[in-house]
Structure 1
């Protein structure tokens, strides 16, 4: 365990991107383990329901709706943590949106929105966290990146670029903390999942002409476990699961081959999916669908594959 970091049951945790996907799963598990939570997401009703469920089960959670791409909203979440719990020990930047399609087919406004959320938003969160951590002398920042942080992939160009930047942000922050003499008390870990069956795929902007899918998707529980592990044992690079670890190693050893293979797989998966009209998804306006942990993508993929046999 990182020095000066309390166990989860005695920690206060800010969790951005908590309403659905593995953010929701992590919030429920952290609440069950006794952590005090300050939850952030755009969907106010979903966030309030989540906080209510955690509190009803004996945990402690505060819901503060906001958009991480707005510096003022991020500052308000940090202030809520200070006001409600006297500060925070861990900040989890679990926010990411996507725009699927060939780069030139995706409107530039959608590309810019991905950068605003996935990079600028995480930078805002990291800045708020570092200010608090330096003031109190300890803390853990957990950034949720992707295996795309290491392995670029077709049909997700801007998303992969932002996730590469998230990994670089964590590396650079750890370097600066070491130079400031704080490296043993303040740490930054980057969680790097493989493709995961969450609502992310249904919320993404999509200009592929097909429903979203990817080969060999992982279950959200695998990433939930990794996020919790990162809270007390953060590593600069944390590929999640065998597929992500294999892809990470393969790219280090055979970068060109790995990139060709990953993009070929992505292309083949796109071609297998049912037709879908172009959509901006939920990247600008929050989804009105139920706030679930899973996305139901694997079940749809099985049905699509069965129809073709």
Structure 2
């Protein structure tokens, strides 16, 4: 199947789109779908081998993609990713802040390194992405941030306090950015429920990990569902800003 079949009817064609956390899960699904609809994809993640394989898949299907190893904990990595997009394609239309981790556990366990990882990746990583892309968007006079939060950014439950805190913060920062952005920039928050990805691998508490894996295997939606929500927000006319999409399996409470 060629990617070229859908591009003529899409508001995504020829947009230059950066995706962090692109090597698996939601990021990978979004990269494939947006490339299919004619976007030029700039992939960022820590796993270079997976990035290379994903870029090759896109190119082999008549899409366009480049990549660079990107650790969102390193501000300079995100600046370099934006520079790569601008130098290769001459512009940047969309920055998808998607990288995230979820090593949840009871607060009593004092897994402080896990707390710091969630703050550094889920929260500071988004801020670093904004810092890298916002000046480019301002100079161009257009641009779109798509920031991945979570249903945990709307409601917290036991064991998810720090994770939820980072996702509540992503929503707050995104709303503040939207209000400051003016009429030329767009800001979208995507808040997925449970998704069929490898997110449980980062959970260090075995009991919590096993419980989450069982829920995932029973209820989770495919990453493609979230990718379609992202595409919906991006393909709207430039004067339409889809502020937030909450998407979850119908069976999830």
TM-score by length of 2: 0.87
Match of 2:226 in 1: 223
* Contact 1:99–1:106 (8 Å) recurs in 2: no
SS at match of 2:170: helix
Instruction: Name the residue aligned to 2:204.
Output: 206
Deviation, structure 1 residue 30: 1.1
Number of aligned residue pairs: 235
1:232-247 equivalent positions in 2, closer than 5 A: 232-233=235-236, 234-241=241-248, 243=250
Deviation for aligned residue 1:100: 2.0
Aligned positions of 1:52-201 closer than 5 A: 52-177=56-181, 182-183=182-183, 185-201=184-200
RMSD, matched Cα: 1.8
CA shift, 1:242, in A, is 6.2
C-alpha deviation, 1:237, in angstroms: 2.0
In 2, are the aligned partners of 1:194 and 1:243 still within 8 Å (CA)?
no
Checking the alignment, whether the CA contact within 8 Å between 2:93 and 2:144 is kept in structure 1 is yes
| Aligned partners of 1:21 and 1:199 also within 8 Å | yes
Report the Cα offset of residue 227 of structure 1: 1.2
Unaligned runs of 5+ in 1: 1-5, 248-309
Q: Show structure 1 runs of 4+ deviating over 6 A.
A: none
- How far off is 1:106 after superposition? 4.4
CA deviation profile, 1:201-227 (whole Å, cap 9, x unmatched): 22x132153523336322222111111
Counterpart CA distance in 2 for 1:159 and 1:104 is 15
Match of 1:286 in 2: none
Structure with greater Cα Rg: 1
- What is the alpha-carbon distance in structure 2 between the residues aligned to residue 95 and residue 28 of structure 1? 16
Can you list the C-alpha shifts for 1:88-112, whole angstroms capped at 9, x where unaligned?
1011011110112212214211111
Aligned-partner Cα distance in 1 for 2:75–2:54? 24
